[in-house]
A and B are shown apart, each in its own frame.
Chain A
Amino acid sequence: MANPTAERLSRDEYFYGHKACAGCGGSLAVRAALKVLGQNAVSVLPAGCMSAVGFNFPQLCFSNNSIISTFAGTASMLTGIETGLRAKGYSDFTAVGFAGDGGTADIGIQALSGAIDRNDNIIYICYDNEAYMNTGIQKSGLTPFGARTTTTPAGANIHGNLRPKKNMFEIAAAHDIPYAATASVGYLPDFIKKVEKASRIKGTKYIHVIAPCPTGWGIAPDETVEIAKEVVDCGLWYLAEYENGEFTLNHKPKDFTSVEAYLKKQGRFKHLDLDDIKTVIESRDKKWAFIEKNFTYQ
């Protein structure tokens, strides 16, 4: 039986035997993207789970050329690789980075902004598991409101993280980047299409993919894909693109599924009360009012 998405991908595996936890969403994002980009992808992995689980001396779980960068320097290293290979006369390669939410929205944002400013010909993929997972679940700029992390504990007075998620997609778009997109590993064909599209565009490309972490989110390993789908279905995440100065919404849920049901499935949100859930729903509705106004839906 034909699977149109599977048929467009390389049958080879480029991220194999890695030590990510069972059911890791980040590893699914890396694996899928590399099956699009193929053998000539040169991947850059900053400090974070995907480098920690991919490079375990003497193991290298990547079958394409791959390198670890400094935590802050994913985009800078991509710039160097792209320029260096081009200077040596190579043209058939893709410089691609896979950085976590902390590595992207916090410590790596300056290097990323610089690369977009220079319009370097690279693909930057942020796999967003909504906290610093590799160091044991600390809050990042992309941790959502209400999430319990080790640095935003949930107690009687304060119910986890007080701050909303930074809007990295629109921050990238605000540079007037050639291509930016949001995605989720729960909608894998959509993510794969976006990586394919990015590989055909010249200049800087930014893809922000939600990649649940069973360990940090407090879900079972077999729930990763479902929860990554549900976050889109309940409207707390959205699938969109930015190109030629325009925002496009790719998927519009007819009716949102329950935000409360989405939150209560996860250990990190178990403590939230009805007021907290109301706050989450209100911020979702505000976001969607903005989307309705500023994004076209095709």
Chain B
Amino acid sequence: MKPFLREKKTFSAAEIPEATAFEAGYLVTVNSGWRSIRPVIDTGRCIGCEQCYLYCPDGVIAIQNGKAVIDYDFCKGCGICAKICKIGAIGTEAEHK
């Protein structure tokens, strides 16, 4: 499991919990708008060593079929993955969104 984006974003007073947040894992906003650079995986070169997965502070890299895949909704473009990938399979480009 991981926290995920919810459809429901507005609430009546009665639905609001008496706590500092909603239930564990309740996300209503993405972080993609923070990015000034976008990391891009060169799937041909990626050897699935999982170093980028391990060191991503946001946990947005998953390994699927032996290759790294980025969840761009939540990647902030810090660039740590591009530096940690020893074989240079992660490039960076300017974010245009």
Asked if A289 is at the interface (CB within 8 A of a chain B CB), the reply is no
Q: How far is the CA of A22 from the CA of B84 in the complex (A)?
A: 15
Question: Which residue of A is nearest B92, CB measured?
Answer: A222
Once A58-B11, A222-B80 are accepted as A-B contacts, the answer to whether A188 and B22 lie under 8 Å apart by CB is: no
Q: Would you call B57 and A59 a contact (CB within 8 A)?
A: no
Asked if A81 is at the interface (CB within 8 A of a chain B CB), the reply is no
Q: Would you call B55 and A22 a contact (CB within 8 A)?
A: no
Shortest distance in angstroms between B97's beta carbon and chain A's nearest beta carbon? 15
**Which residues on the A side are within 8 Å of B16 (C-beta)?**
58
**Which residues on the B side are within 8 Å of A66 (C-beta)?**
24
The number of chain A residues touching the other chain, given as a range, is: 35 or more
Q: Would you call A1 and B20 a contact (CB within 8 A)?
A: no
Shortest distance in angstroms between A3's beta carbon and chain B's nearest beta carbon? 4
A5, A12, A15, A21: which contacts B1 (Cβ < 8 A)?
A12
Q: Would you call B59 and A62 a contact (CB within 8 A)?
A: no
Q: How far is the CA of A61 from the CA of B50 in the complex (A)?
A: 23
Question: Which residue of A is nearest B57, CB measured?
Answer: A28
Asked if B72 is at the interface (CB within 8 A of a chain A CB), the reply is no
Shortest distance in angstroms between A161's beta carbon and chain B's nearest beta carbon? 26
Asked if A225 is at the interface (CB within 8 A of a chain B CB), the reply is yes
Q: Would you call B59 and A19 a contact (CB within 8 A)?
A: no
Q: Would you call B54 and A6 a contact (CB within 8 A)?
A: yes
Shortest distance in angstroms between A125's beta carbon and chain B's nearest beta carbon? 15
Asked if B38 is at the interface (CB within 8 A of a chain A CB), the reply is no
B34, B59, B66: which contacts A22 (Cβ < 8 A)?
B34
Q: Would you call B27 and A22 a contact (CB within 8 A)?
A: no
Shortest distance in angstroms between B41's beta carbon and chain A's nearest beta carbon? 15
Known: A59-B28, A61-B25. 17 other contacts (CB 8 A): A3-B51, A5-B54, A6-B53, A12-B1, A17-B31, A18-B58, A23-B79, A28-B57, A31-B58, A55-B21, A57-B21, A57-B22, A58-B21, A65-B24, A67-B20, A225-B83, A225-B84
